[in-house]
Structure 1
Amino acid sequence: MTRRSCPCGLPEAYGACCGRFHSGSAAAPTAEALMRSRYCAFVQGDTGYLLRTWHPRTRPGTLELDPAMRWTGLEILDTRDGSAFHSTGTVEFRASYRGGSLHERSRFERVDGAWVYVDGEFLP
């Protein structure tokens, strides 16, 4: 049996990679790990995880994902701060989907020790 790598682009299997964050058995240790797990949640359609990992001051009341959207890959372009030694961080990425891509610089903060997504700036 072949194990498929996680949708976030890392070689580990989903359960050993982003799946452990989605299930709540582990917390993302860095802003980049949270960003990867959020991308994976978009791929999986896991709105609960997306809302749980959104900063309380910027989180929408509800989130509806387009079931026709097919995410096809993630490329991390840059990271600033966001390690265990920081309280904030940014991750610039390109997320590809069938028919195009999304280029964003996302901001992350720690809330009660856990990384959360604050907001993002779309880039050309």
Structure 2
Amino acid sequence: MSRRPARPARSARSAAGDPACPCGLPAAYEACCGRFHGGAAAPTAEALMRSRYCAFVRGDAGYLMRTWHPRTRPERLDLDPGMRWTGLEILATADGSAFHSTGTVEFRASHRGGSLHEVSRFERVAGAWVYVDGVFPG
């Protein structure tokens, strides 16, 4: 598993001076997760994880449903409009590249009032990465 440093998502700026993507990478939203939300396929499990976090931040339930494995996807997803996500930290990744059919991403997503620590599993379906499920380490 590889370790990734924490990257703040709030008040960061892209190289062009635009607000950085909520996923924590320094690119602007449109050049980062926005392209995946617009229909481009995420190239890695980590990129999909980051784009899904960004979808939670933006309240994009449609994207979350489209990128959820059909085997484990709920019938509906009701997002809490009062939830304020404040940052994403990728703790570790395993597999999940263009050369793999599965992968895992361990992350911590902070929100006002706490954080969520999860190890998420991803698989490829018809060539595209999708979220399968996650466990919450103790």
TM range (shorter): over 0.9
Q: Which residue of 2 aligns with 1:61?
A: 75
Q: CA deviation at 1:2?
A: 3.4
2:108 maps to which of 90, 94, 99:
94
Is it true that 1:38 corresponds to 2:52 in the alignment?
yes
Q: CA deviation at 1:71?
A: 0.1
Amino acid of the structure 2 residue aligned with 1:14: Y
Q: CA deviation at 1:67?
A: 0.3
Distance in 2 between the 1:98 and 1:86 partners?
Answer: 35
Distance in 2 between the 1:43 and 1:122 partners?
Answer: 20
Is it true that 1:110 corresponds to 2:124 in the alignment?
yes
Distance in 2 between the 1:67 and 1:122 partners?
Answer: 23
TM-score normalised to structure 2 length: 0.88
Q: Which residue of 2 aligns with 1:11?
A: 26
Distance in 1 between the 2:33 and 2:124 partners?
Answer: 18
TM-score normalised to structure 1 length: 0.97
Deviations 1:73-121 (A, max 9, x none): 0000000000000000000000000010000000000000000000000
Deviations 1:2-48 (A, max 9, x none): 30000000000000000000011x11000000000000000000000
- After TM superposition, what 4+ stretches of structure 1 lie above 2 angstroms from structure 2? none
Distance in 2 between the 1:13 and 1:118 partners?
Answer: 27
SS of equivalent to 1:91: strand
Amino acid of the structure 2 residue aligned with 1:27: A
Q: CA deviation at 1:123?
A: 1.9
SS of equivalent to 2:18: coil
Aligned length: 123
SS of equivalent to 1:75: strand
Q: CA deviation at 1:68?
A: 0.3
